[in-house]
Amino acid sequence: MNPTRNKLLTPLPWQASNRIGKKRLFAYQHRHVQNSMYPLVSRNINRTPFANLYQCRIRKLSETRVPDASSYTNLVRSFSLARHRSRPKKTSIPADSKLEKQLKTFSAKHSTAVSLKQLLEFGSNPTEMTLLRASVFLHHELPIRLANKAVELENLPCGLSSMPSIMEVRKWYITSFKEIVAFRRPSSLGDDRKFTNLVKEIYERHSGVLWTMAKGVYELKKKYLASQHSLGDNASTTFALEKVFPEVQTFLDNFFVSRVGIRVLIGQHIALHENIDGWVGLICVRTSPSEIARNAVKAASQACLLRYGRVPNVSITGDLDRTFPYIPAHLHHILYELLKNSMRAVVEHHGLDFDGDYPDIRIVIVDREENEDVCIKVMDEGGGIPRADLQKVWSYMYTTAVEDAEEVFDSLESGRHFAHEPQPLAGMGYGLPVSRVFARYLGGDINIVSMEGFGTDAYVYMRALGDSEEPIP
């Protein structure tokens, strides 16, 4: 009979103990570990970083009843490979985990705020090197802003993150983030051209964000009202939802400010490559408020005529010849929203069967050299707004055009997002809130003053110097 096997079958005196002293361990090594099957066990065991592991293995050997030599050999072989198995293996991190880690890393970084004045000075005389520097800046800045929104969209209050449309918007931000991060830092004119083409695709992808976010909020409203209806709470359908979800209002304000910032940076970069006379990217150096007001009147009149068949007259007075550097698209959006609201209010307040002409809607433009702001006032006689409802006009969850809202959101559910179409006259409830975001982005603001039973005055303020930095949330 094999003497080694007999010794292993004989209980050792310290097997009942949970602790193995060093002297007993050495004694066991000398008495039972003298053949070639233990190549890794020696007196140097306590000098290695695996000493504790070897002691555990020795205990395992001493406590094992081996039925045959082959099993015993396998056990010892497994012991001899212990050192290799003890090293942590380099396992590949799942792609989703890597992405989430990248998003959190970039979202923790600080964005770089810019002002209209800085954009104007940087792009006044664009050269190839200037455009390359702009690409390098965007390559650094866009991932931070995109990651911030992607992370934020995953952790929204009131269950908004779980709405299908919100999840779709988040996918757009993640896709754009991945594309920017995967693109190497531009270092040549060829890289600049490729990078510009990439940001053009991103700009187009995000064109429907406003309407899709609106659809997501509408989905939340429907879910909430359905749950209240199932509980028999019919009064809740008329309750102001902005009071039910106050956190949503704050989030949407910050979200749309960030969205405007991203689109301005990308749009400015794309437009600089076109180099149109009188423009610095998106900025027209001689923006004429009166000209933009006339264009906004024309667009709003068409929408009102299509909806009601009648249109109030609009007069424009004040400093009509003054110009200043601004982004015309922002001012057009603001004036269009104010005018279509005024036109709708005038028509509905006086009625479609009103004899004669409707009271004029008046636009007054004030732009003096000594003034801090360029100011535009839009006045109507559309019956005004009740004082209790005045703050609701800034809510993304409030609209006075309930029937129009159903039609608009039905269109959204069918996949239409109005990104490249004329906007509806009313119904979204996003017109004034988003207009105020555009104004505040460049250091301005919008104020509403109303006289119930008579009409409403809207004041638009724009920084004449353009030195106000964007308000990054």
245: phi then psi, degrees, rounded to nearest 5: -120, 65
- Written as one letter, the residue type at 100 is E
Cα 204 to chain center, whole Å? 16
Can you spell out the DSSP letters for 56-88? HHHHHHHT---SSHHHHHHHHHHHHTHHHHHSP
Count of C-beta atoms within a 10 Å radius of residue 70: 9
Known catalytic residue at 104: no
Q: Where are the beta strands (DSSP E) in 264-346?
A: 279-280, 283-287, 314-318, 324-326
Known catalytic residue at 204: no
Under 8 Å between Cβ of 297 and 340:
no
Burial class (CB in 10 A: 0-12, 13-18, 19+), 438: buried
Cα 422 to chain center, whole Å? 25
Under 8 Å between Cβ of 41 and 29:
yes
Burial class (CB in 10 A: 0-12, 13-18, 19+), 142: buried
Spot the catalytic one: 330, 341, 392, 470: 341
Q: Closest by alpha carbon to 458, among 438, 440, 432?
A: 432
Alpha-carbon dihedral angle through residues 84, 85, 87, 89, given to the nearest 10 degrees: 120
Spot the catalytic one: 149, 215, 333, 392: 333
Count of C-beta atoms within a 10 Å radius of residue 322: 18
Beta-sheet pairing, 314-318 with 279-280 = unpaired
User: Per DSSP, what are the bridge partners of residue 457?
Assistant: 379, 449
Known catalytic residue at 333: yes
Q: Closest by alpha carbon to 153, among 132, 173, 129, 130?
A: 173
Cα 66 to chain center, whole Å? 64
205 by DSSP, 3-state: which?
helix
User: Per DSSP, what are the bridge partners of residue 456?
Assistant: 380, 450
Alpha-carbon dihedral angle through residues 344, 345, 351, 356, given to the nearest 10 degrees: -90
Spot the catalytic one: 337, 350, 381, 470: 337
What lies within 8 Å, CB to CB, of 461 at 6+ separation is: 373, 374, 375, 439, 444, 445, 446, 447
Spot the catalytic one: 139, 149, 340, 350: 340
CA pair distance 19, 21, nearest whole angstrom: 6
Known catalytic residue at 340: yes
89: phi then psi, degrees, rounded to nearest 5: -80, 145
Active site residues: 333, 337, 340-341
